[in-house]
């Protein structure tokens, strides 16, 4: 769960920072409303604090949310299994005679002895 939240946060920061490296984007963003970083951070911290307190105010919300994330985790696991089986069926078996390693296929028993 925290991995998804942190990943979303960092991905959002990357999307916000990308226009800083493009002159076309900088010109287009001059027409955008100004971004007040201090006020935005204060609002985000207040919202985060409010979200943390929701389990105290309404425990059933956290219980339902936990059950929902558990169900989504099971579905994601099943989806990953299906994707793995699909990819395995597409790419496996193409080189059935493939022998890997540094020894010959006969196990290193050569006729030179």
Summarised one tens digit per residue, pLDDT across range 84-100 is 988 888 887 655 565 66
Q: Find tokens 């002895």 and name the residue.
A: 113
Structure tokens at 19: 């226009």
* Cα 98 to Cα 85, 87, 93, distances in angstroms: 21, 19, 10
Looking at the chain, the whole-number percentage of residues with pLDDT higher than 70 is 79
Structure tokens at 77: 């696991």
> What's the pLDDT at 98?
59
HSE-up of residue 80 (Cα within 13 Å, Cβ side): 6
Mean pLDDT score, 29-35: 73
Q: What is the mean pLDDT of the chain?
A: 78
């Amino acid at each position: 769960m925290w991995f998804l939240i942190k990943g979303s946060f960092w991905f959002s920061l990357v999307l916000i920072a990308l226009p800083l490296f493009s002159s076309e984007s900088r010109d287009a963003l001059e027409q955008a409303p100004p971004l007040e970083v201090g006020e935005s951070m204060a609002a985000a911290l207040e919202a985060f604090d409010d979200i943390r307190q929701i389990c105290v105010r309404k425990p059933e919300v956290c219980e339902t949310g936990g059950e929902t994330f558990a169900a989504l985790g099971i579905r994601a696991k099943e989806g990953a299994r299906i994707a793995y089986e699909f990819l395995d069926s597409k790419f496996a078996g193409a080189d059935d005679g493939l022998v890997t390693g540094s020894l010959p296929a006969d196990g290193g028993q050569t006729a030179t002895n």
